Amino acid sequence: MAYVAPPAGTNPTSSADANDFSNWQGATERPLLRWSVGRFHPLFIVTPGLRLRDLNLAAEALLRTDGEILVTAGQFCFADKARTGHLKACLDGGGGGASGWSYRRASGEFVVVHIEWLPSDPVDGAESLVALTFPPHHVARYVWAEFAHHFDLTRSEAAIVKRLVGGQTPTVVAEELGLSIETVRTHIRRTYNKLGISCREQLFSVIVPFRLG
Protein backbone atom coordinates (compact mmCIF):
# COMPACT_ATOMS: atom_id res chain seq x y z
CA MET A 1 0.00 0.00 0.00
CA ALA A 2 1.35 3.43 -0.90
CA TYR A 3 1.64 6.40 1.37
CA VAL A 4 -1.77 7.70 2.47
CA ALA A 5 -2.06 11.43 1.90
CA PRO A 6 -3.21 13.62 4.79
CA PRO A 7 -6.87 14.66 4.89
CA ALA A 8 -7.97 17.36 2.48
CA GLY A 9 -7.50 20.86 3.79
CA THR A 10 -4.47 20.03 5.94
CA ASN A 11 -0.96 21.28 5.34
CA PRO A 12 1.54 18.45 5.79
CA THR A 13 4.45 20.86 6.12
CA SER A 14 2.95 22.60 9.14
CA SER A 15 0.95 19.76 10.67
CA ALA A 16 2.06 18.22 13.95
CA ASP A 17 2.08 14.92 12.08
CA ALA A 18 4.37 16.17 9.33
CA ASN A 19 7.15 13.86 10.50
CA ASP A 20 4.89 10.89 11.27
CA PHE A 21 5.51 8.17 8.69
CA SER A 22 3.08 5.68 10.23
CA ASN A 23 0.85 5.95 7.17
CA TRP A 24 3.35 3.77 5.33
CA GLN A 25 2.25 0.20 5.83
CA GLY A 26 5.74 -1.19 5.43
CA ALA A 27 9.24 0.25 5.58
CA THR A 28 9.99 -0.82 2.01
CA GLU A 29 7.11 1.35 0.76
CA ARG A 30 8.74 4.59 1.89
CA PRO A 31 9.91 6.46 -1.24
CA LEU A 32 13.25 7.44 0.30
CA LEU A 33 14.05 3.85 1.23
CA ARG A 34 13.03 2.59 -2.23
CA TRP A 35 15.38 5.16 -3.74
CA SER A 36 18.27 4.24 -1.45
CA VAL A 37 17.93 0.55 -2.38
CA GLY A 38 18.26 1.29 -6.09
CA ARG A 39 20.71 4.21 -6.10
CA PHE A 40 23.78 3.66 -8.23
CA HIS A 41 26.34 4.07 -5.43
CA PRO A 42 27.05 0.70 -3.76
CA LEU A 43 26.06 1.06 -0.10
CA PHE A 44 26.91 -1.37 2.70
CA ILE A 45 25.65 -1.00 6.27
CA VAL A 46 28.06 -2.68 8.70
CA THR A 47 29.01 -2.70 12.36
CA PRO A 48 32.43 -1.34 13.39
CA GLY A 49 33.57 -4.97 13.38
CA LEU A 50 32.41 -5.22 9.70
CA ARG A 51 29.41 -7.45 10.40
CA LEU A 52 27.13 -6.88 7.41
CA ARG A 53 23.67 -5.59 8.37
CA ASP A 54 22.27 -4.42 5.04
CA LEU A 55 23.18 -3.47 1.48
CA ASN A 56 21.49 -2.01 -1.58
CA LEU A 57 21.10 -3.40 -5.08
CA ALA A 58 24.20 -1.63 -6.38
CA ALA A 59 26.23 -3.23 -3.60
CA GLU A 60 24.87 -6.66 -4.54
CA ALA A 61 25.95 -6.03 -8.13
CA LEU A 62 29.39 -4.92 -6.92
CA LEU A 63 29.82 -8.16 -4.98
CA ARG A 64 29.05 -10.13 -8.14
CA THR A 65 31.54 -8.24 -10.31
CA ASP A 66 34.37 -7.16 -8.01
CA GLY A 67 36.47 -10.10 -6.89
CA GLU A 68 38.27 -7.98 -4.31
CA ILE A 69 35.16 -7.27 -2.20
CA LEU A 70 33.55 -10.19 -0.37
CA VAL A 71 30.94 -11.15 2.20
CA THR A 72 32.01 -14.27 4.08
CA ALA A 73 29.96 -15.77 6.93
CA GLY A 74 28.09 -12.51 7.27
CA GLN A 75 31.26 -10.43 7.43
CA PHE A 76 32.14 -7.68 4.96
CA CYS A 77 35.76 -8.08 3.93
CA PHE A 78 38.31 -7.81 1.16
CA ALA A 79 40.21 -10.61 -0.50
CA ASP A 80 43.29 -8.79 0.77
CA LYS A 81 43.26 -9.47 4.53
CA ALA A 82 45.59 -6.57 5.22
CA ARG A 83 43.13 -4.20 3.53
CA THR A 84 40.32 -5.54 5.72
CA GLY A 85 42.49 -4.92 8.76
CA HIS A 86 43.15 -1.35 7.68
CA LEU A 87 39.42 -0.64 7.35
CA LYS A 88 38.73 -2.17 10.77
CA ALA A 89 41.45 -0.02 12.30
CA CYS A 90 39.87 3.04 10.70
CA LEU A 91 36.47 2.19 12.19
CA ASP A 92 37.99 1.37 15.56
CA GLY A 93 39.12 4.97 15.73
CA GLY A 94 35.67 5.99 16.93
CA GLY A 95 32.31 6.95 15.55
CA GLY A 96 30.58 10.17 14.72
CA GLY A 97 30.05 12.15 11.57
CA ALA A 98 31.52 11.31 8.19
CA SER A 99 35.00 10.67 6.87
CA GLY A 100 36.79 9.03 3.99
CA TRP A 101 38.98 5.98 3.60
CA SER A 102 40.90 4.85 0.54
CA TYR A 103 42.63 1.79 -0.80
CA ARG A 104 44.46 0.73 -3.93
CA ARG A 105 43.07 -2.04 -6.10
CA ALA A 106 45.27 -4.75 -7.58
CA SER A 107 44.99 -2.89 -10.90
CA GLY A 108 46.57 0.19 -9.32
CA GLU A 109 43.34 2.21 -9.26
CA PHE A 110 42.62 4.13 -6.07
CA VAL A 111 39.15 3.78 -4.54
CA VAL A 112 37.75 6.32 -2.07
CA VAL A 113 35.05 5.05 0.31
CA HIS A 114 32.71 7.45 2.09
CA ILE A 115 32.24 6.45 5.74
CA GLU A 116 29.29 7.74 7.71
CA TRP A 117 28.30 6.74 11.23
CA LEU A 118 24.55 6.31 11.50
CA PRO A 119 22.64 7.81 14.45
CA SER A 120 22.05 5.38 17.30
CA ASP A 121 20.07 5.53 20.52
CA PRO A 122 22.43 4.93 23.48
CA VAL A 123 19.42 4.27 25.73
CA ASP A 124 18.24 1.12 24.00
CA GLY A 125 21.76 -0.27 23.71
CA ALA A 126 21.59 -0.67 19.93
CA GLU A 127 24.88 -1.44 18.22
CA SER A 128 26.60 1.26 16.23
CA LEU A 129 26.19 1.07 12.47
CA VAL A 130 28.34 2.50 9.73
CA ALA A 131 27.44 3.24 6.11
CA LEU A 132 30.18 2.44 3.58
CA THR A 133 29.47 4.09 0.23
CA PHE A 134 31.61 3.06 -2.73
CA PRO A 135 31.93 4.96 -6.02
CA PRO A 136 29.70 3.69 -8.84
CA HIS A 137 31.32 0.65 -10.44
CA HIS A 138 30.57 1.47 -14.07
CA VAL A 139 31.48 3.98 -16.78
CA ALA A 140 28.87 6.57 -15.80
CA ARG A 141 30.67 7.36 -12.55
CA TYR A 142 29.58 10.99 -12.44
CA VAL A 143 26.37 12.89 -13.01
CA TRP A 144 26.84 16.20 -14.78
CA ALA A 145 24.75 19.33 -14.51
CA GLU A 146 24.38 21.08 -17.84
CA PHE A 147 27.14 23.68 -18.15
CA ALA A 148 27.73 24.21 -21.88
CA HIS A 149 25.17 27.02 -22.22
CA HIS A 150 26.83 29.02 -19.44
CA PHE A 151 30.03 29.27 -21.46
CA ASP A 152 28.66 29.01 -25.02
CA LEU A 153 30.37 25.65 -25.53
CA THR A 154 29.40 23.32 -28.35
CA ARG A 155 28.34 19.74 -27.64
CA SER A 156 31.73 18.46 -28.81
CA GLU A 157 33.60 20.94 -26.62
CA ALA A 158 31.54 19.94 -23.57
CA ALA A 159 32.15 16.24 -24.24
CA ILE A 160 35.89 16.83 -24.43
CA VAL A 161 35.88 18.94 -21.25
CA LYS A 162 34.18 16.15 -19.28
CA ARG A 163 36.84 13.68 -20.37
CA LEU A 164 39.69 16.05 -19.58
CA VAL A 165 38.29 16.69 -16.11
CA GLY A 166 37.95 12.92 -15.74
CA GLY A 167 41.71 12.60 -16.20
CA GLN A 168 41.99 11.60 -19.84
CA THR A 169 44.76 12.97 -22.02
CA PRO A 170 43.98 14.65 -25.36
CA THR A 171 45.33 11.56 -27.12
CA VAL A 172 42.92 9.24 -25.28
CA VAL A 173 40.04 11.67 -25.89
CA ALA A 174 40.80 11.64 -29.61
CA GLU A 175 40.83 7.84 -29.70
CA GLU A 176 37.55 7.46 -27.77
CA LEU A 177 35.69 10.08 -29.80
CA GLY A 178 37.15 9.02 -33.15
CA LEU A 179 38.72 12.43 -33.77
CA SER A 180 42.18 13.49 -34.86
CA ILE A 181 44.47 14.84 -32.16
CA GLU A 182 44.62 18.14 -34.06
CA THR A 183 40.83 18.48 -33.90
CA VAL A 184 40.79 17.76 -30.17
CA ARG A 185 43.52 20.33 -29.53
CA THR A 186 41.58 22.91 -31.56
CA HIS A 187 38.47 22.26 -29.43
CA ILE A 188 40.56 22.61 -26.27
CA ARG A 189 42.04 25.96 -27.41
CA ARG A 190 38.58 27.30 -28.24
CA THR A 191 37.22 26.09 -24.91
CA TYR A 192 40.05 27.75 -22.99
CA ASN A 193 39.34 31.02 -24.83
CA LYS A 194 35.63 30.86 -24.02
CA LEU A 195 36.31 30.12 -20.34
CA GLY A 196 39.08 32.71 -20.10
CA ILE A 197 41.60 30.18 -18.80
CA SER A 198 45.04 28.98 -19.82
CA CYS A 199 45.68 25.60 -18.15
CA ARG A 200 44.01 22.37 -17.01
CA GLU A 201 44.16 23.38 -13.32
CA GLN A 202 41.96 26.39 -14.12
CA LEU A 203 39.67 24.14 -16.18
CA PHE A 204 39.16 21.94 -13.12
CA SER A 205 38.36 24.96 -10.97
CA VAL A 206 35.69 26.18 -13.38
CA ILE A 207 34.08 22.86 -14.38
CA VAL A 208 34.28 20.53 -11.36
CA PRO A 209 31.43 22.35 -9.51
CA PHE A 210 29.09 21.06 -12.25
CA ARG A 211 30.06 17.44 -11.56
CA LEU A 212 28.14 15.37 -9.03
CA GLY A 213 29.20 12.08 -7.54
CA dist 45 and 54 (Å) reads: 5
State the pLDDT at residue 6. Answer: 41
Q: What mean pLDDT value characterizes the chain? A: 81
Burial of 73 (0-12, 13-18, 19+ CB in 10 A): exposed
Level-2 CATH architecture, domain 40-133: 2-Layer Sandwich (3.30)
Could you tell me which residues come within 8 angstroms of residue 184 by beta carbon, excluding any fewer than 6 positions away? 160, 170, 173, 174, 177
State the pLDDT at residue 140. Answer: 52
State the pLDDT at residue 44. Answer: 93
Residue 51, pLDDT > 90, answer yes
pLDDT tens sequence across 160-200: 999 999 888 999 999 989 999 999 999 999 999 999 999 99
Report the pLDDT averaged over residues 68-95: 92
CA-CA distances (angstroms) from residue 61 to 6, 107, 125, 148? 37, 19, 33, 33
Report whether 83 contacts 69 (CB < 8 A).
no
Report the pLDDT averaged over residues 70-91: 95
> Among positive and negative, which fits the CA dihedral 33, 139, 206, 132?
positive
pLDDT tens sequence across 101-160: 999 988 888 888 999 998 876 655 677 899 999 987 544 567 789 999 999 999 999 999
CATH fold of 143-212, please? Arc Repressor Mutant, subunit A (1.10.10)
Residue 41, pLDDT > 60, answer yes
Report the pLDDT averaged over residues 37-52: 85
State the pLDDT at residue 77. Answer: 97
